[in-house]
Amino acid sequence: MSRTLSPRAALIVVDVQPDFMPGGALACHEGDAVVPGIDRLLRSRTFSHVVATQDWHPRGHISFASSHPGRAPFERIVLYGQPQTLWPDHCVQDTPGAELHRGIDWSALDAVIRKGSDPTVDSYSGFRENHDQAGARPSTGLAGWLRERGVDEVLVCGLARDVCVLWTAQDAVELGFHVSVLWDLSRPVTPAGDEATRAALQVGGIGIVESARLAI
């Protein structure tokens, strides 16, 4: 059965950028597979509001393994009292790998939230940065932007399912939105974590939806 969306629902497209595609600096498993479906969804004008997030790191960002001598990509450290994965250099500001993917017609976008631009703070969620030196998670302003437009439900898709999509969905619930993840329009860094991601979504009261069920 098709699902008809409320006019108070928004779509959040997370980090669909070349550096997360196969062959990119931080490739997600089958990351390019989400592009046609997201393009079709945006062209359908199904959603009253569409927001994209964009990883937008300065060179030498604290999350890059290259910023920590002797460390390798995907090692984990403690940063500001929290676990931090060290990533390959990726989505560096004003580089081709940081662009929104050109295989998608972005003309339906209402806003772009650039995240990770503070060189000392990582950022996964579209709603809040990761913990900073003071132990806070600074807001990106997205929640207020959505509320000003009467949005009370968000559907989340994009990359990576087990990191930025998951954190965005979890923060959205915590901030009072009704939330679903479009599972087929997201991909993980590695599929080994899919079971844990599903469990985390379910524990958080986050719906898991296939885009084919949306009334387009």
Find where tokens 């989400």 sit. Answer: 34
Q: Looking at the chain, which runs of residues are DSSP E strands?
A: 9-14, 49-55, 76-79, 82-85, 111-115, 153-159, 178-187, 207-209
Q: Is 194 a catalytic residue?
A: no
**Which residue did the predictor score with more confidence, 7 or 198?**
198
Q: Is 115 a catalytic residue?
A: yes
Does pLDDT of 2 surpass 80? no
Does pLDDT of 115 surpass 90? yes
Does pLDDT of 216 surpass 70? no
Does pLDDT of 103 surpass 80? yes
pLDDT at 5 (0 to 100): 81
**How far is residue 205 from each of residues 17, 95, 170, 215, measured CA to CA in Å?**
28, 37, 9, 23
Does pLDDT of 138 surpass 90? yes
Q: Please state the rounded mean pLDDT for residues 129-151.
A: 96
pLDDT at 117 (0 to 100): 97
For residue 160, whether the previous peptide bond is cis, meaning omega lies within 30 degrees of 0, is: yes
pLDDT at 4 (0 to 100): 73
Residue ranges per structural domain of the chain? 9-57+95-213
Q: Is 164 a catalytic residue?
A: yes
Catalytic residue among 28, 91, 157, 164: 164
Distance of CA 36 to the CA centre of its chain: 17
pLDDT at 1 (0 to 100): 55
d(CA 17, CA 29): 14
Q: Is 54 exposed, middle or buried (0-12, 13-18, 19+ CB in 10 A)?
A: buried
Whether 186 contacts 213, CB under 8 Å: no
pTM across the whole model: 0.96
Q: Strands across the sheet with 178-187, in order?
A: 111-115, 49-55, 9-14, 153-159, 178-187, 207-209
Superfamily grouping for domain 9-57+95-213: Isochorismatase-like (3.40.50.850)
Q: Please state the rounded mean pLDDT for residues 40-44.
A: 95
Catalytic residue among 32, 89, 115, 171: 115
- 187: three-class secondary structure by DSSP: strand
Q: Please state the rounded mean pLDDT for residues 172-198.
A: 97
d(CA 203, CA 196): 10
pLDDT at 7 (0 to 100): 85
Catalytic residue among 15, 32, 122, 162: 15
Does pLDDT of 80 surpass 60? yes
